[in-house]
Amino acid sequence: MLASGLLLVTVLAFLVVMVLMSVWKQRKLSGKMPPGPTPLPFIGNYLQLNTEQMYNSLMKIRERYGPVFTVHLGPRPVVVLCGQEAVKEALVDQAEEFSGRGEQATFDWLFKGYGVAFSSGERAKQLRRFSIATLRDFGVGKRGIEERIQEEAGFLLDAFRKTNVMKHLPGPQQQAFKELQGLEDFITKKVEQNQSTLDPNSPRDFIDSFLIRMQEEKKNPNTEFYMKNLVLTTLNLFFAGTETVSTPLRYGFLLLMKHPDVEALRFCTTIPRGTEVFPMLGSVLRDPKFFSNPKDFNPKHFLDDKGQFKKNDAFVPFSVGAPIDPTVYLSQTVSNVINSIVFGDRFDYEDKEFLELLRMMGQINRFAASPTGQLYDMFHSVMKYLPGPQQQIIKNTKELEDFMVRKVKQNQSTLDLNSPRNFIDSFLIHMQEEKKNPDSEFNIQNLVMTSLNLFFAGSETVSSTMRYGFLLLMKYPEVEGEAGSGAGKGEPQMLQPLF
């Protein structure tokens, strides 16, 4: 009985101390930070935020406090930037001051400030310069990377060929096959009609010209001018000149019918160094100072008085400012392209270890963007000791680190200082060159974490973008030729700080 009473008193005393410390910190910072809703001790503004609709929650707070305001994510104060002027001033005009990395508990547990993606200050500068230079040495951003991409594309096509079973299954594709065969039969009849009345000295159309070329090259064993190519080339032209052109016109007329009217910051507060900042890019794209009707489809947003295209500084779909992360050069690659650079080799698509690594990275990303992940980001100091999905994420991050440590050790055992094979070799050689430099950031921990940064970004980040792109095209095949013609109506579910 006495023991349980002492335990209860200890817990209550601990909670009181935490509350008092939280209040003290909030009062200490309140006079220096931009305005914002009053936070509660420890939980901050959690009760005012909907973690499933974080963007909408922050935009509601913006309506009251303006484009620059402070919210407390748990005990952590964060400055939120909304609109083109505020975001531009931070990420462009004061890029150096805002170049640090914010806190993100899901990844910080593993990286702990090491590696090119999650470090700040001098460490980030050294690793960034080296990473960009080394990736370029191995072809990234140059013509040499095309060979790696083409090679990997060949493996991808082989994998598709091995799994092409849908043509044998029932479904709408069977009707499409039937209609394509009907179109081919129609073109075949047209070709036969032209053949029966052909005058080699007076071609009447494309089919006649192709038939005459066939006659001229009939003795050429390598010619591509024969009946099958004539039928299908004519079908290509017929299809493109009919359906492909008419579809954009049809949608254009529908938009004009629906919208006939379209026919013809300066910061005044001091932000303490080290404070996290969230630039709300969604608010830039809906900034009423730059878009007269920010929630409506209105081409006038991008047209001048003469109806000509004009640049709109608030159109920033991919953020603003000069890119500082070397993974930007990997936007056109798939996982094995970056693997061939980091590790000097690729994985087979059926490699069980590779599949498990991709699964774990996907699980980590989904957790970070989920309401539970956002809750963990706010209260990780407590939640890391509690049961829940975050424990599996912690386990996954450890396994990813162990994998990368093994890859580094393999390279160390076979390293040739005069012949670097990949990114890891180049980093190891640079470690040797700087081993007498006490301020060097080239050590094993930064090597492991930077290699993991690149592996993660080149695998999960790029593949997620491609996966969602393919899913959208499968769901909306009619817009395949109109990608980028308009913005979607969905709101971002999770906004990460961009520094």
DSSP 18-33: HHHHHHHHHHHHHTTS
Residues 110 and 95 in one domain: no
Residues 389 and 249 in one domain: no
Q: Which of 83, 99, 115 is the last residue of a domain?
A: 99
Inform me whether the pLDDT recorded for 340 exceeds 80. Answer: yes
Residues 82 and 132 in one domain: no
Q: What is the structure's pLDDT at 441? A: 92
Q: What is the structure's pLDDT at 479? A: 59
Q: What is the pLDDT of residues 279-320, one digit of tens each?
A: 777 788 788 888 888 777 677 777 788 878 777 777 765 566
Binned at pLDDT 50, 70 and 90, residue 404 comes out as: very high
**For residue 394, is it within any domain?**
yes
- Closest by CA to 96, choosing from 326, 324, 325, is 324
Residues 340 and 462 in one domain: yes
**For residue 85, is it within any domain?**
yes
103 or 194, greater pLDDT = 194
pLDDT, mean over the chain: 77
**For residue 427, is it within any domain?**
yes
Inform me whether the pLDDT recorded for 426 exceeds 50. Answer: yes
Strand 68-73 and strand 76-82: the pairing is antiparallel
**For residue 346, is it within any domain?**
yes
Is residue 64 within 8 A of residue 75, CB to CB? The reply is: no
Q: What is the pLDDT of residues 123-144, one digit of tens each?
A: 888 888 888 888 888 887 777 7
Tokens representing residue 436 in the block:
């007498």
Strand 276-280 and strand 68-73: the pairing is unpaired
- CA–CA distance, 355 with 349 (Å, rounded to integer): 8
| Unique residue bearing structure tokens 């080296």 | 130
Tell me how many degrees the CA angle 426-427-428 measures, rounded to the nearest 5: 90
Inform me whether the pLDDT recorded for 493 exceeds 90. Answer: no
Is residue 95 within 8 A of residue 83, CB to CB? The reply is: no
| Backbone angles phi and psi of 54, in degrees to 5 | -60, -40
Is residue 247 within 8 A of residue 481, CB to CB? The reply is: yes
| Backbone angles phi and psi of 44, in degrees to 5 | 60, -130
Residues 408 and 471 in one domain: yes
Task: Give buried/exposed letters for 100-116 (b at 16+ CB in 10 A, else e).
Answer: bbbbbbbbbbbbebbbb
Q: What is the structure's pLDDT at 3? A: 59
Q: Which of 38, 66, 99 is the last residue of a domain?
A: 99
Helix (H, G, I), strand (E, B) or coil at 53: coil
Q: What is the structure's pLDDT at 138? A: 83
- CA–CA distance, 195 with 453 (Å, rounded to integer): 62
Residues 461 and 419 in one domain: yes
E strand or H helix that includes residue 280: strand 276-280
**For residue 304, is it within any domain?**
yes
With a pLDDT cut of 90, the percent of the chain lying above it is 16
Residues 310 and 398 in one domain: no
Q: What is the pLDDT of residues 6-38, one digit of tens each?
A: 666 665 665 566 555 555 555 555 557 889 998
- Closest by CA to 200, choosing from 214, 187, 188, 190, is 214
- CA–CA distance, 283 with 87 (Å, rounded to integer): 9
Residues 227 and 125 in one domain: no
Tokens representing residue 412 in the block:
């160390």
Question: Which DSSP symbol is given to 171?
Answer: S
- CA–CA distance, 433 with 416 (Å, rounded to integer): 14
**For residue 22, is it within any domain?**
no
Q: Which of 99, 128, 144 is the last residue of a domain?
A: 99
Is residue 297 within 8 A of residue 252, CB to CB? The reply is: no
Is residue 117 within 8 A of residue 318, CB to CB? The reply is: no
Question: Which DSSP symbol is given to 288?
Answer: T
Q: Say how many CA atoms lie within 13 Å of 421 toward its Cβ.
A: 12
Which range has the worst mean pLDDT, 121-125, 252-256, 392-396, 416-420? 252-256
Is residue 393 within 8 A of residue 383, CB to CB? The reply is: no
Residues 460 and 372 in one domain: yes
Helix (H, G, I), strand (E, B) or coil at 314: coil
Question: Residue 66: which domain range?
Answer: 27-99
Average pLDDT over residues 258-271: 55
Is residue 389 within 8 A of residue 367, CB to CB? The reply is: yes
Residues 333 and 458 in one domain: yes
- CA–CA distance, 130 with 323 (Å, rounded to integer): 15
Q: If you average pLDDT over each of 171-185, 243-257, 326-340, which comes out highest?
A: 171-185
End-to-end CA distance of the chain: 53
Number of domains in the chain: 4
Binned at pLDDT 50, 70 and 90, residue 395 comes out as: very high
Question: Which DSSP symbol is given to 435?
Answer: T
- CA–CA distance, 193 with 208 (Å, rounded to integer): 10
Inform me whether the pLDDT recorded for 430 exceeds 90. Answer: yes
Helix (H, G, I), strand (E, B) or coil at 65: helix
Partner residues linked to 319 by β-bridges: 317
Inform me whether the pLDDT recorded for 402 exceeds 90. Answer: yes
Is residue 172 within 8 A of residue 181, CB to CB? The reply is: no
51 or 415, greater pLDDT = 415
209 or 483, greater pLDDT = 209
Inform me whether the pLDDT recorded for 497 exceeds 60. Answer: no
Inform me whether the pLDDT recorded for 161 exceeds 80. Answer: no
Residues 334 and 450 in one domain: yes
Rounded to two decimals, what is the model's pTM?
Answer: 0.55
Is residue 373 within 8 A of residue 106, CB to CB? The reply is: yes
Residues 310 and 435 in one domain: no
Q: What is the structure's pLDDT at 319? A: 60
Q: What is the pLDDT of residues 378-390, one digit of tens each?
A: 888 888 888 999 8
Instruction: Count CB-CB contacts under 10 A for residue 94.
Output: 12
- Side chain identity, residue 405: V
Is residue 314 within 8 A of residue 287, CB to CB? The reply is: yes
Inform me whether the pLDDT recorded for 333 exceeds 70. Answer: no
**For residue 289, is it within any domain?**
yes
